[in-house]
Amino acid sequence: MNRLVIVANRVPNPGERGATAGGLAVALKDALAKREALWFGWSGQIAEATAADPVETRIGRITYATLDLGREDHRRYYLGFSNGSLWPTLHYRLGLAVFAREDHAGYRAVNAAFAAALAPMLRPDDTIWAHDFHLFPVGAALRALGCRQRIGFFLHVPFPPAGLFCALPRAAELLTDLAAYDVIGVQTEDDAVNLRAALAGVGQEEAAARVHAFPIGIEAEAFTTLAEKAIGKRETERFRQSLVDRALIIGVDRLDYTKGLPQRFCGYGQLLARFKTHRSKVTYLQVAPVSRGDVAQYRALRRELDEWVGRINGQHAEPDWAPLRYMTRAVARPVLAGFMRMARVGLVTPLRDGMNLVAKEYVAAQDPEDPGVLVLSRFAGAVAQLPGALLVNPLDPDEIAEALDQALTMKPAERKARWEECIVSVRRDGARAWCREFLSRLEGANDA
Ligand code: ADQ
């Protein structure tokens, strides 16, 4: 079998390459287990200048090739254009987007540097798969260097309506870059419709026909096993005892303004204010490790959430009950899986999300005989695969409160029926199917 080359902004660290790995590493596990692979990208380290030659580490059949980013490139490419311009725009938050020509130039320069470092490592029959919004131009940069291999691209975040995306300066250039790819993958049919329209709008009709939706999933069985094994372990049991038979609501997110956390906290506050029967009978645990802590908007969000926590606990706590427990430390996946299994409600209310794997993990973690209820934003890509969830508008705290009340008082038979509607596609449309479907379209692309 030919080699698979993954190009992504981040390459997992040595410590993350085992059982604790998250995100893309988990989703690609199956594809990477079956064939020789090269994983290329940023090391996560910042140096004086961006390295020209990658550092290679081989573990089994996977070679990890990483470049350190220069300080200025990191600021322009990563913090500036990727996180400051593209991330908010792609999440429909044009008002939060900033644009600077220097950042845009830095973004293109790093993509060109990635291509220049990767090209000499490529074999003629490699299959190349580039990931996410940091790397819109890397395929075109590889083509400019003469690479004729199959190159696919997958966008993990949403793609907004064409008019919104095209308000971003240089949007047409980014869309033209996408035309270099043989397959352009997005999470949902809505994203595909939006991206096709945007491509057609800049005269890239042929590229528009290469856009397809591939909803990403999780390794459901493995996550279920993780959750089952966590029950009875010391950490899980200590947590259970601390709840003193109170129903648990759980939220697990990166601390990001797309995840709707202030509105969610407000919704929980509304539950306690309006549905008084739940007072002292429910505990909400929000795990939200700090991400992109060096970006001002993220620091402001953190302050806002600190205020919400103080307000809710200050207003509603009893001497023996804190209604909201909030952690900005990361929690290990096996422990999280156990907490999710214990939770009566999984609360997942992003304002926009490409997919949202936490929603699927919550479903996979449940005890089939006594499952909890998923309260899910109607703006998460995962909605299409989770028909049994209680859907809410994440901007409406009252609706969140009403859904929480409904979930907390739901009869076991309805909980079971709703969970069964969700688990079918969580199991069927897993990480393995996502990889298989994307790669079979990409590898069949030039044969058609
Ligand atoms: P993210 O925005 O990071 O990913 P999500 O899909 O929910 O969002 O999470 C990815 C993984 O990180 C999950 O496996 C989750 O368990 C883990 N994770 C999240 N919060 C955590 C926490 N507090 N502690 C420990 N682990 C945590 C982007 C897009 C999503 C898309 C994914 C995959 O924004 O829409 O679903 O890529 O394509």
The predicted model scores a pTM of 0.96
- Count of structural domains within the chain: 2
**pLDDT for 17:** 46
Segment 311-321 shows an average pLDDT of 97
Say whether both 128 and 261 belong to one domain: no
Say whether both 258 and 379 belong to one domain: yes
pLDDT in tens, 151-191: 999 999 999 999 999 999 999 999 999 999 999 999 999 99
Say whether both 302 and 346 belong to one domain: yes
Contacts (Cβ under 8 Å, ≥6 apart) of 205: 199
Say whether both 178 and 304 belong to one domain: no
302: helix, strand or coil: helix
pLDDT range class, residue 296, cuts 50, 70, 90: confident
Please count the other Cβ atoms lying within 10 Å of the Cβ belonging to residue 405: 16
Identify whether 419 is part of a domain.
Answer: yes
For residue 189, the enclosing domain spans: 4-216+431-443
Which of 90, 129, 133, 254 is the best mutation target for the ligand 1 pocket, counting ligand atoms within 8 Å of the beta carbon and taking the most?
A: 254
Identify whether 10 is part of a domain.
Answer: yes
CA–centroid distance, residue 23 to ligand 1 (Å): 6
Say whether both 255 and 371 belong to one domain: yes
Say whether both 80 and 185 belong to one domain: yes
Q: Is residue 182 annotated as part of the catalytic site, yes or no? A: no
Identify whether 389 is part of a domain.
Answer: yes
CA–centroid distance, residue 147 to ligand 1 (Å): 32
Residue 161 Cβ < 6 Å to ligand 1:
no
The yes-or-no verdict on residue 360 having pLDDT over 60 is yes
Contacts (Cβ under 8 Å, ≥6 apart) of 227: 337, 338, 340, 341, 364, 365, 366
CA–centroid distance, residue 354 to ligand 1 (Å): 10
Using CA positions, which residue lies closest to atom 19 of ligand 1? 253
Say whether both 166 and 227 belong to one domain: no
306: helix, strand or coil: helix
Residue 361 CA: nearest ligand 1 atom is 16
CA–centroid distance, residue 252 to ligand 1 (Å): 9
Say whether both 290 and 317 belong to one domain: yes
Say whether both 406 and 438 belong to one domain: no
Q: Is residue 156 annotated as part of the catalytic site, yes or no? A: yes
Identify whether 448 is part of a domain.
Answer: no
Say whether both 149 and 211 belong to one domain: yes
CATH of the domain at 316: 3.40.50.2000
pLDDT in tens, 233-285: 999 999 999 999 999 999 999 999 999 999 999 999 999 999 999 999 999 99
